[in-house]
Amino acid sequence: MIFIRSESFKEFLSKYPITSFIVLLNTLAFIYTSLIGGLLDGEVSNRLGGISLEYIHQNEYYRMLSYAFLHVSFAHFAFNMVAIIILNPPIEKSVGKLKYVILFFFTIIGSAIAIIIMSSGPVVGASGFGYGIFGLYLSIICFKKKLIDKQSRSALLVFITIGFLLTFFAKGVSVASHFGGFISGIIIGIVFILTNSIKKM
């Protein structure tokens, strides 16, 4: 099972530096927004870096990145970080640091575009990246499943199913963000497969 983590904290940082850095940035952003009232008022994060068509019309293009590092509650933050810590290390190890960084930016920008087109917003959260990882894994399962062991493939399909049930039935979830990230993940997953950029996990 590729999702069972046996490394120590120090080993995790060393083996998965990009994942660790992404989690660190999200953690620092969450601590900052909490200190200025974010836990009491979810709009604090939205105002700081949330993304919507309205903000883009004001030429605040930095929000296409900043939204992915902000969260409106501890549950929102914790759910996304736990998902990243569990699901992302095999991908970082498989595709390498550079392509993993490309994957990160491609999926959060793809998610941002979907938010701008489909949602009134503003939206914050790292889940666009998380669903991008889902999309990448689904590409592997569909087109090169031998890269992932059978038990992990089964677990992934369960994770993806639960993820989309939450997308459509949980309150306060951005369907646009999840959809945009997921489609972006599928696209870049196919590109990585065609270019033989993904190693066996």
Query: Residue 37: which CATH number?
Result: 1.20.1540.10
Residues 156-165: what's their mean pLDDT?
A: 94
> 13 is written with which tokens?
């940082």
Instruction: Classify residue 51: in a domain, yes or no.
Output: yes
Instruction: Classify residue 140: in a domain, yes or no.
Output: yes
Q: Say what the pLDDT of residue 138 is.
A: 97
Half-sphere CA count of 153, side-chain side, radius 13 A: 14
Q: Say what the pLDDT of residue 200 is.
A: 87
Global pTM value: 0.94
Banded pLDDT at 5 (limits 50, 70, 90): confident
**Is residue 146 classed exposed, middle or buried when 0-12, 13-18 and 19+ CB atoms within 10 A define those classes?**
exposed
Residues 33-61: what's their mean pLDDT?
A: 92
Residues across the chain: 201
Instruction: Classify residue 2: in a domain, yes or no.
Output: no
pLDDT tens sequence across 117-154: 998 779 999 999 999 999 999 999 999 999 999 999 99
Domains in the chain: how many in total? 1
3-state secondary structure of 185: helix
Q: Which range of residues forms the domain containing residue 81? A: 9-194
Instruction: Classify residue 201: in a domain, yes or no.
Output: no
